């Protein structure tokens, strides 16, 4: 395995990881922002109030984007397994 191939493989792995984590992190970010604005407007300072909405938003994002995320991971793994002979030889 050459240095360029290892760098390209690492770059692709990081790209796939960011694409898979993006929808979940985005949902948590937006939900946290909405809950924080609500807490600031109502002056309710309860730390556990944001947990349940974030959990529900991330579950909804997983249900909506889950098939896409799974197909992205499966495609990456198939390309990775298909490239093993070129990496070894």
For residue range 10-36, list pLDDT tens digits in order.
Answer: 999 999 999 999 999 999 999 999 999
pLDDT at 89 over 80: no
Is the pTM for the entire model greater than 0.85? no
From the centroid of its chain, how far is CA 3?
27
pLDDT at 87 over 90: no
User: Could you give the CA distance from residue 34 to residue 23 in angstroms, rounded to a whole number?
Assistant: 17
The torsion angle over the Cα atoms of residues 48, 49, 55 and 58, rounded to 10 degrees, is -130
pLDDT for the residue numbered 1: 76
Binned at pLDDT 50, 70 and 90, residue 50 comes out as: confident
């Amino acid at each position: 395995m050459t240095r360029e191939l290892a760098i390209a493989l690492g770059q692709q792995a990081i790209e796939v990881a960011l694409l898979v984590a993006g929808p979940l992190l985005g949902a948590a970010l937006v939900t946290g922002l909405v809950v924080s604005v609500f807490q600031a407007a109502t002056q309710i300072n309860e730390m556990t109030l944001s947990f349940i909405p974030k959990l529900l938003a991330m579950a909804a994002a997983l249900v909506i984007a889950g098939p896409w995320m799974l197909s992205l991971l499966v495609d990456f793994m198939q390309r990775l397994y298909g490239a093993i002979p070129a990496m070894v030889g």
